[in-house]
Structure 1
Amino acid sequence: MQSATKWDEKEADAEKTVPTVERRVSTSTQSSEPGVEADYGADSGLKRKLSSRHLYMISLGTAIGTALWLGSGSNLTTAGPVGMWIGFWIAASIAWALMQSVGELTVMYPVPSAFPRWSISHGWAFWLLYTLGIPTELAGLVTVMQFWTDKVPPAAWISIFLFILVLLNAFPVRVYAESESIMSFIKFAWIFVIIIASIVVSAGGGPKGHSIGFRYWREAPFTHGFKGFLSVMPNAVFSMSGIELVGIAAAEAKNPKKSVPKSVGSIWLRLGLFYIIGILMVTIIISPYSPDIFGGKGANASPFVIAFRNAGIPGLSHAMNAIILISVFSAANSEVYTAPRILVGLAEAKMAPKWFLRCDRQGRPLYGFFFTILISGGLAYLNVNQTGSTVFQWFESLVSLCVLYSWGCIFLAHLRFRKAWKVQGYSADQLPWKSRFFPLSAIWGISWCILICIIEFYLAVWPLGQPSSAKQFFATYLSIVLIIIIYVGAKIYYRGPFWKKPSLVNLNYGRRFYTNRRASSDKEEDELYVFFKSTLEKIIPKKS
């Protein structure tokens, strides 16, 4: 799975130490943690302080962002209600398959930066995805704050939010995890408010009392035909980016064998409740031809707020803007957390300078953190001389293809891993956690990633509603050019083989060897988790 010859030397040394799965590992690699026999290279300077509840809440919150609250309006106009809903169904199926691959790989290899470290182009593209995501979200935060006031200059808002993000991530990792857990719970609760309010509005229960039903599905199911449907596909995938964050956070999880499958198992809830049902609500409460979808700032650009205002319920706009603010800030917070940890994994695999390995006593990746903030913070100030929406579109174009490339690499790594696992004499029953419907799920996912990249190329050459231009093409495909440059540069520097034989892939390096003993962290249920659990049980009593 790794082609660099310098990395091969490290793998060869590892293979001498741990040649087979059945062999007991040496004393130097044994782990004192209950439930874990050994961590052969799976641990680093990062500290394992994240509980199952932390990973669950982090994975829950990453599915709810600006794409649902704000971006769904433009997608509705582009594809129409039926076209958008079908597009998000397909994107959700890809995301579900992705989490199956992520779960199997990260339980087996809960290492820093996880899957990005298996390919230098994937690793740096993944870092670029999250690093460029930070100024994207900061531009979004400026737009959200302008809903309340436009007297504060963008540079001031950028400085304030960047300082808060740095401060949160300067504390030990549990502070980040707790802050994300709180924001995730708020977003999770608000989606129920939105769904109920949307149903009431659609049924004519608002003050103005106009019943809508599925009128827009009948009147304008596809606004721009098949090309409009194709245009929404990349946006739908981009809106779900970040769900793979569980694979990165697994390197700091106390018990990946328990917490990662729990997070992966909740993917149906996140995709079904937040996107499938959430997008359905958008399609039934607002017309795709509504002139109010474009030009608004903050919550005024949200299709939910537009629909509620049209129904005579304007009071929700301020609450909606606050939720959007939390969602955008949560996304930025996750990206500030993730990007430096990708650099730790790349440095450990000798794909990045070794000083990125430096972590302090609390497990914070110091140099990776400073480097990421320097790059992303500097780019964020481009927003000072441009409108927030323009800057947001720039960065969105850069990172959208990085998402597809990254997801495709994860599916490929999973297929290659299983092939090597079989060739070297192991069975699927020996895996600590097994994905569902393999290999169909991985093949489904990687096929769609390739197809959507082709769709992106088609739309870059012949954009919807715009004339063809070199500027439009490179704005869409610049990230692919950067990935190719990284790949070619790595091949020249490392001079490794194009494709490693499955029989030569080292399946032991970075692997965590589990036992059948129950880990102490399996019993952990902290106060916040117990509170959420008991509250839900009171609302939904168990059947006798």
Structure 2
Amino acid sequence: MASEKNLAMMDPEKHIATASNPSLEFEVGEVTAVEQNAQDHAPHQLQRNFKARHVQMIGLAGCIGSGVFISTGEALQTGGALGLLIAYPLICSMALSMLTVLSEATCLFPTTGSFIDHASRFVDPALGFAIGFCEWFGAITVVAAEGSVFPVVISYWTTSVSDAGLMTIYLVVVFAFHVMPNRWFAEFEFYSGIVKLTLMVVVMLTMVAICAGAGNGDEYIGQNYNTLKVFPNGFKGIARCFLLASWATGGQEIMGVVAGEAAFPRWDLPRARVNLFIRILVIYLSAAVFISVLIPYTEPLLLSTSNLASSPFVIAMNYAGIRVLPDIVNVVLLICLCGIGSEELFVASRVQVAMADMGMMPALFKKIDSKGRPWASLLCCSIIAIAFTYMCLSTTGAIAFNWFSSISATTTFFAWMIIPVTNWCMHRALRAQGDTAWSEPYAYKSWLWPAIPIYLFVTTVFTFVCTFWVAVDPIGGADSSGLAADFFEIMLCFPLFVFAYIAYKLFYRTKFQNPRTADLVTGRRRLTKENIEFLDTYGASPWYSKVLSYVRFG
């Protein structure tokens, strides 16, 4: 077997120390999480039956939905090509940093509450409640946001079916996978992820072909760079792109929630981080480049209320004379909408269960049946999601989409600010109590700590301030009667977060956690002997075997 030093060099996912392992004093496989006091598959508990391939596919293809196919069009229209190419790489780097930071705490404490639980135990229970409430509310609004787009995608082919009927079909599909045991949800995410990835590869290759001259277009590709302003709305346009990019690339926090039901978080999360990097490089950044080259920001179809389903990719293909592929794109977009809706219902229900476990919501919501389904929480979240989705019928789909997507995007900013703060406080507690977490075999610790948490916090604060500025002083200005509406369309989650934090703080008189007494036991999941042997074998394997393990999702 290779030495520990050589293993560390062969596998960048691992951080291995040579110190002795005090954790071996515990019984192998001991689990002390609140929601897992018994066995992993005990009745009336959330079950850890998400396999490695499920977690990896969610990391690779999860969150690919209307944000990629549609919001990129509005980002191009608002910020111009250069604004799009500034905002997306920045937000993507923040998303990758966030998952790196989150993985540290989640590998140690893979609880269903994830960073919400971590914020409560290491910083302040009031902070955990505030971000938990906003994350729960934001996840439900995403279900509605995707539902508001569903009828408009169908309108690409026909308008003879009522919007209410189409929304009902969408909701039935979203809810169906949660009526069954959660492994059905995992399988749906896995196979729909394969479909989404296959489509994105085909789309990107098509974009390359169009850029190379394929199609019926007779204009020089990229000529809009010679005739249009670089920044159509100045820095405000870029600031608005930050919000839209966070909607398209945000939601990666789902990996922390999924880890609560994963069989082997230490193996799954670092690999999900690598898959996220691949997704960012191949999908988000490539999409931004191709869209900015192929379509001028003056294109009227980018975000008109009657052509919302005509995504930038579809517009480019139609202009190139490619008639079949746009229909396929829209079919897969329907799958994406249902997939995102199902993911966010999963997140909302699990966050509610975790908050009920922590005493932050009624105990009714932590009830779980013998199949591992949190029925009370699922029912509550479903009812609210149904109400929000049908609310979209009272206004245009574009306006409803903007409101709901903005709520989720600003929630992402709050989560990304809190995660690095929680990470710092966790490190402080581990040092104060002399915990040996980082010296245990295969302990997962970021190589660049604390640089990555600092980068994440600073950039998130910067992008949030820019977004706040655009909300207060919107592009094109606003009269006094519309100023409040414009502000809350973007920043509705801000007053909700502040109110939730202050109200919980005052009512329960919570205090900031003392690092010397912070809980380092509940929910901690140490590696079993079998886990360590598995990682030993993986670390000693040749490099090509490690690469193939990602391809076969082992």
Same fold, judged at TM 0.5 (above): yes
Cα displacement string for residues 59-117 of structure 1 (whole angstroms, at most 9, x for unaligned residues): 21224221111111111111111111111110011001101012111111111121112
Deviation at 1:162, TM superposition (A): 1.1
Residue of 171, 174, 177 corresponding to 1:165? 174
Deviation at 1:440, TM superposition (A): 0.9
Q: Contact 1:254 / 1:521 at 8 angstroms: preserved in 2?
A: no
Further displaced range: 213-222 or 260-269: 213-222
Cα displacement string for residues 336-371 of structure 1 (whole angstroms, at most 9, x for unaligned residues): 111111111111111111111110111111111011
Q: Match of 2:105?
A: 105
Matches within 5 A, 1:201-350: 201-213=210-222, 216=225, 219-295=228-304, 297=306, 300-350=309-359
Deviation at 1:210, TM superposition (A): 4.0
Q: Contact 1:25 / 1:38 at 8 angstroms: preserved in 2?
A: no
Cα displacement string for residues 458-484 of structure 1 (whole angstroms, at most 9, x for unaligned residues): 111110123151221222222111112
Q: Contact 2:63 / 2:252 at 8 angstroms: preserved in 1?
A: yes
Residue of 494, 497, 519 corresponding to 1:483? 497
Deviation at 1:331, TM superposition (A): 0.6
Give distance in 2, aligned partners of 1:78 and 1:92.
Answer: 19
For 2:155, the aligned partner's letter is Q
Q: Contact 1:42 / 1:110 at 8 angstroms: preserved in 2?
A: no
Aligned CA-pair RMSD:
2.6
Give distance in 2, aligned partners of 1:139 and 1:449.
Answer: 28
Further displaced range: 429-438 or 415-424: 429-438
Give distance in 2, aligned partners of 1:534 and 1:206.
Answer: 38
Q: Contact 1:165 / 1:333 at 8 angstroms: preserved in 2?
A: yes
Q: Match of 1:96?
A: 96
Give distance in 1, aligned partners of 2:398 and 2:534.
Answer: 45
Q: Contact 2:96 / 2:277 at 8 angstroms: preserved in 1?
A: yes
Give distance in 2, aligned partners of 1:235 and 1:198.
Answer: 22
Cα displacement string for residues 268-318 of structure 1 (whole angstroms, at most 9, x for unaligned residues): 101111111121111111111122323265675211111121122232221
Deviation at 1:23, TM superposition (A): 6.6
Asked if residue 390 in structure 1 is aligned to residue 399 in structure 2, the reply is yes
Asked if residue 43 in structure 1 is aligned to residue 36 in structure 2, the reply is yes
Distance 1:206 1:327, change over 3 A: same
Deviation at 1:174, TM superposition (A): 0.9
Q: Contact 1:52 / 1:262 at 8 angstroms: preserved in 2?
A: no
Unaligned runs of 5+ in 2: 1-20, 38-44, 121-127, 539-544
Deviation at 1:512, TM superposition (A): 0.8
Unaligned runs of 5+ in 1: 1-20, 525-529, 538-544
Give distance in 2, aligned partners of 1:229 and 1:198.
Answer: 24
For 1:57, the aligned partner's letter is M
Give distance in 2, aligned partners of 1:94 and 1:403.
Answer: 11
Give distance in 2, aligned partners of 1:318 and 1:194.
Answer: 12
Residue of 477, 481, 495 corresponding to 1:466? 477
Deviation at 1:217, TM superposition (A): 7.6
Give distance in 1, aligned partners of 2:413 and 2:169.
Answer: 32
Distance 1:199 1:64, change over 3 A: same
For 1:354, the aligned partner's letter is A
Give distance in 2, aligned partners of 1:373 and 1:220.
Answer: 45
Cα displacement string for residues 384-404 of structure 1 (whole angstroms, at most 9, x for unaligned residues): 222211211121232221111
Give distance in 2, aligned partners of 1:124 and 1:345.
Answer: 11
What is the TM-score with the length of structure 1 in the denominator?
A: 0.87
Give distance in 2, aligned partners of 1:180 and 1:298.
Answer: 28
For 2:183, the aligned partner's letter is R
The DSSP-based 3-state class of the residue aligned with 1:257 is: helix
Give distance in 2, aligned partners of 1:329 and 1:214.
Answer: 37
Distance 1:381 1:335, change over 3 A: same
Asked if residue 59 in structure 1 is aligned to residue 74 in structure 2, the reply is no
Q: Match of 2:439?
A: 429
Q: Match of 1:509?
A: 522
Q: Contact 1:143 / 1:298 at 8 angstroms: preserved in 2?
A: yes
Cα displacement string for residues 314-334 of structure 1 (whole angstroms, at most 9, x for unaligned residues): 322211111211111111010
Q: Match of 1:140?
A: 149
The DSSP-based 3-state class of the residue aligned with 1:467 is: coil
Q: Contact 1:68 / 1:279 at 8 angstroms: preserved in 2?
A: no
Distance 1:55 1:69, change over 3 A: same
The DSSP-based 3-state class of the residue aligned with 1:502 is: coil
Q: Contact 1:411 / 1:446 at 8 angstroms: preserved in 2?
A: yes
How many positions carry a matched residue from both structures? 503
For 2:68, the aligned partner's letter is L
Give distance in 2, aligned partners of 1:353 and 1:410.
Answer: 25
